[in-house]
Every structure is written in structure tokens, then in C-alpha cells.
Amino acid sequence: MFAKLFGKPKTGPDAVMALEKLSDELDMLAKQEKVLQKKAAAEYEKAKRFSKDKNKRAAIKSLKMKKVYEQQIQSNGNNQLRVHNQMVMLEAAKSTSETVDALRTGAAAMKAMHKAINIDEVDKTLDEVHEQTENIKQIQQALSSPIADFDEDELEAELEELESIELEKQLLQPAATSSAPVHLPAGRQPNGPILQKPSAEEDDELAALQAEMAL
């Protein structure tokens, strides 16, 4: 009945558009986080390879880049939290606006019926709007944490851990044995006598000699 008399409560189209934009921004930040995680993992793998090759300088550089990506991931997470919080605040503001519209419609209905205005409801609405405005200001004033300096001792410890892992892998591998023949340099002879297999002719001569001795 009231909807027919005074129409449906209006929901601000600006709030809906803002929520859609914030939702798109949240999706984009989530995609960026995945890319940063892949880059951090790639730098870690590079550090492992450099450590295995005993390239300490390159390994340290890769570990630093991994730290940079990890800090960006943390900053990205903070931004996602801010966007999410603002979405919550905006949804609350939108709900409050709809509530205010409903209250205004009710106030208009009461005015039409009783020729009076409920000033308490107006004060309550203004207090809610003021509270939401202050909350949004506090969120906008929040700053992201600055990038901290690199801890060289921490990087050295992480590099030593990588080197220990690679050394352990090498120790666990079975020792390779070579079955290749030994080649002596030209002009060199072995110290001991070289036994050669007797030929067929020598075998026949030996048999004939043994036969004569038997006679």
C-alpha cells in the first residue's frame, strides 16, 4: 500500500557502480598476487641453481629479488584488505541509505497521516551518515607499511641453508666407478712382467717335448 502511494525506496546507482568497480579492483589485485607469487618462486629456484654453481653473488641477488616480490605480495594483500573493507563500508552505507529512504518514506506517510515529522528519526539518520563518513576517512588515511631494509645476516643464513641442502644431495648420490681400461703413455712400460697367452705353435712344441721326455 505504501509502495503504491509513495513509490519504492531509491537505491543510489552511484553506490552500485562503486561496488562493481571495487569488485573489479579486488579481482585484479588477486591476479597480481598470483603473478608475484610465481615470480618469487622463480627467484628462489634461481637462487638454488646459483648456489649449486657456487655463484654466491648471483644467489644473493636472486634472494633479494624474492624478498622484494614477497614485500609486494604483502602490500598487495594490504590493498586487497583495504578494498574489501571499503566494499563492506560501502555496502553498509548503501544499506543505510536504503534504510534512510525507507525511514523517509515512513516519515512521509506519517506526515501525510498525522501532519507531523519525526525529528528523532532524522537525527538518527544524520548520526549514522556521520559515523560512516568518519569510518571511511580513517580507512583512506591508512598507509601501507614502508619497505624494510634487507637483513644481510638473514640472507646469508638462507644462502647457507641452500648450500647445505645441495651438499647433502651430493653426499647422498652413489659414488661413480670407472671401468674404463687404463692407457699408459707412449714410451712407458709397466713395472711388472706382462704375461702373454701362448700361441698354438708354442702349444704343439711343448706337447712334443713332453712326449720325448716320457720316452
Residue 170 located in a structural domain: no
**Res 71: pLDDT:** 94
Residue 102 located in a structural domain: yes
pTM, entire model: 0.42
Residue 172 located in a structural domain: no
Tell me how far CA of residue 180 lies from CA of 183, 191, 199, in angstroms. Answer: 9, 20, 27
The domain total for the chain is 1
pLDDT digits over 153-186, tens only?
A: 888 888 888 888 888 888 887 654 444 454 444 4
Residue 213 located in a structural domain: no
At position 108, the amino acid (one-letter code) is A
pLDDT digits over 112-128, tens only?
A: 766 655 667 667 778 88
Residue 190 pLDDT greater than 60, yes or no: no
Residue 87 located in a structural domain: yes
pLDDT digits over 70-104, tens only?
A: 999 999 999 999 999 988 988 888 888 888 888 88
For 141-149, what is the mean pLDDT?
59
Buried b (16+ CB within 10 A) or exposed e, 85-111: ebbebbeebbeebeebbebbbebeeee
The domain that contains 35 carries what CATH number? Answer: 1.10.287.1060
Residue 27 located in a structural domain: yes
At position 109, the amino acid (one-letter code) is A
Question: Which band of pLDDT confidence, cut at 50, 70 and 90, is reported for residue 38?
Answer: very high
Residue 129 located in a structural domain: yes
Tell me how far CA of residue 20 lies from CA of 30, 116, 132, in angstroms. Answer: 15, 39, 20
Residue 164 located in a structural domain: no
Biggest CA–CA distance in the chain, Å, is: 157
Do 29 and 73 touch, CB atoms closer than 8 A? no
Q: Kindly report the three-state secondary structure assignment for every residue of 92-115.
A: HHHHHHHHHHHHHHHHHHHHHHHC
Domain span at 104:
11-142
Nearest partner of 47 among 38, 58, 36, 37, judged by Cα: 58
